[in-house]
A and B are shown apart, each in its own frame.
Chain A
Amino acid sequence: MNIFRLAGDMTHLFSVLVLLLKIYATKSCSGISLKTQELYALVFLTRYLDLFTDFISVYNSVMKVVFISSSVAIVWCMRYHPLTRRTYDKDLDTFRHYILVGVSIILALLFHDRFTFREVFWAFSIYLEAVAILPQLVLLQRSGNVDNLTGQYVFFLGAYRAFYILNWIYRYFTENHYSRWISWLAGFVQTALYADFFYYYFVSWKNNAKLQLPA
């Protein structure tokens, strides 16, 4: 464990807490893409298959349980909770996210470390996570004004993978033959997708103005 990875995990955890706070405090999930939440639940469920087979550390297992349970809970809230589901921007959240799932499956079958059940599912989860934010970014552009907590949620979600890139660079130089080219490429694409959001987020922060994404 290095400081970059810890910072990344804490930022990721914080983004989940901010999202839970937004839904709980505002009793609303307006501005949140259910499709992105479903994709993240799928990412965690397919990546953490080893939760019950390989024990790496208490930290590792606890974080996996937290990410799986929070993502599933948010999807449940947005789909079935009588109060919350009514505030979901159903007619704005129209990204065809099953295409992202399909492309990730094809990529995972083509590019993986080893052709085993675990490795293909792991590669699938890495590719899917790289694009999982797209429905959320599209929804933000459509919904015009973005409430602070939603903006912070997306910001921290994007920042965490940037810390992971620093972690991979650090591990590349400190551990011999460490190569995670699948994670590197997908992580780079994932972080790049946030580029314009980061720009508008910085501008809104500098001008102390409401976050506005161009339509």
Chain B
Amino acid sequence: SSSDQPKDEL
């Protein structure tokens, strides 16, 4: 799921 990914986008 998207939650465990770091927010690497601006």
A and B held together in a complex:
yes
Interface residues of A (CB under 8 A from B): 5, 9, 12, 50, 54, 56, 60, 63-64, 67, 113-114, 119, 122, 164, 167, 177-183
* A interface secondary structure, majority: helix
Within B1-10, the residues touching A (CB, 8 Å) are 1-3, 5-10
Pairwise interchain contact A67-B7, C-beta atoms closer than 8 A: no
Pairwise interchain contact A114-B5, C-beta atoms closer than 8 A: no
Q: How far is the CA of A100 from the CA of B2 in the complex (A)?
A: 25
What are 13 A-to-B residue pairs whose CB atoms are below 8 Å? A9-B10, A50-B7, A54-B6, A60-B8, A64-B10, A122-B7, A164-B9, A177-B1, A178-B2, A178-B5, A179-B1, A180-B2, A183-B9
Measured between beta carbons, the chain A residues less than 8 angstroms from B3 are 113-114, 119
Q: How far is the CA of A136 from the CA of B8 in the complex (A)?
A: 28
> Which residue of chain B lies nearest to A116 when distances are taken between CB atoms in the complex?
B3
- Shortest distance between the CB of B6 and any CB in chain A (Å): 6
> Which residue of chain A lies nearest to B3 when distances are taken between CB atoms in the complex?
A113
Pairwise interchain contact A63-B2, C-beta atoms closer than 8 A: no
- Shortest distance between the CB of B4 and any CB in chain A (Å): 9
Measured between beta carbons, the chain B residues less than 8 angstroms from A182 are 2
